[in-house]
Amino acid sequence: MFVLPNTSETDEGLIRSLRVQPLLVVLRPESRDLEQVFSSTRLCRQLDQLVEAGVKHVEIAWIEHPRWRDLVMAARSRHLHLSLGAASITQLSALQQVTELGFSYAMSPLLDRELQQRAKQLDFLLVPGVMTPSEIRHACDLGCRLVKLFPASVLGRGFYRQIAAPMGNLPFMIAAGGLRAGDLYSWLEAGYDAIALGRTVFENDGFDPSLAAWIGA
């Protein structure tokens, strides 16, 4: 039986790891990925490219599909040392499944009290999506040490500095939604602790060379 790590230790571990490489890449399975042998899927090729480039944190978006479990188990077996999380957790059944599969953390595009309370009961790290100062404060009140600003591209990189002074200490802030590899330097300089990238990482199924250069630097 898989034993979940203590949430506070998981929080600290993920924060430390993101301090070293403040980048997460989100992969979204397509229907073909769920129908083929994992080693022949587009998602597997992309995952291999990310690991080869040195990306340390990858999330696989949750999908309500009977073969999603098999897909993520194959991904974990292929890259045992990758910090693999789940994305797009919006319902309790999804949260339950990712905890049973042994993910160390997951992320949600929204802030939901019931989801957060259940995650605490399961001693599992669920990073909520927030968009306003009130939601950030609410997330902190629920015990969240990390939050995901979503969609970051709508709010703009100046949002962090606008709220930092009046709000005081902010949680670990991950900017996500509509960002590209070229945004990494400016958004990190603007105060964000980490950046999450999605489909823009791959151009015509090829790894964005500017992201490879950033990782190398």
Q: Domains of the chain by range and CATH?
A: 7-216 (3.20.20.70)
Calpha distance 94→183 (Å, rounded): 31
pLDDT at 2 over 60: no
How does DSSP assign 51-116, residue by residue?
Answer: HHHT--EEEEE--S-TTHHHHHHHHHHH-TTSEEEEE---SHHHHHHHHHTT-SEEE-SS--HHHH
Q: What number is the average pLDDT over the span 61-72?
A: 95
**pLDDT value of residue 147:** 98
Neighbours of 92 (CB within 10 A): 13
Share of the chain above pLDDT 70, in %: 96
| Residue 9 pLDDT class (50, 70, 90 cuts) | confident
Task: Decide: 146 and 171 in contact? Cβ < 8 Å.
Answer: yes
Distance, in Å, from the CA atom of 124 to the CA atom of 147, rounded to the nearest integer, reads 14
**Among 34-38, 144-148, 205-209, whose mean pLDDT is lowest?**
205-209
Cα 14 to Cα 171: distance, rounded to the nearest angstrom: 13
Under the banding of pLDDT at 50, 70 and 90, the label for residue 37 is: very high
Max Cα–Cα distance, the chain, nearest Å: 52
Q: For the residues 63-86, what does the mean pLDDT come to?
A: 95
Q: Contact 162/154 with Cβ under 8 angstroms?
A: no
- What average pLDDT does the segment 92-112 reach? 95
pLDDT of residue 3: 39
**What's the whole-number mean pLDDT along residues 202-209?**
81
Amino acid at 122: L
**pLDDT for 112-170, tens place per residue?**
999 999 999 999 999 999 999 999 999 999 999 999 999 999 999 999 999 999 998 89
Q: Quote the pLDDT of residue 7.
A: 60
pLDDT band at 5 (very low <50, low <70, confident <90, very high): very low
Q: How far apart are CA 125 and CA 164, in angstroms?
A: 24
Comparing CA positions, the residue from 47, 15, 53, 23 lying closest to residue 33 is 47
Q: Quick one: tokens of 37?
A: 């042998």
| Cα–Cα distance, 194 to 15 (Å, whole number) | 9
Does 205 score more than 90 pLDDT? no
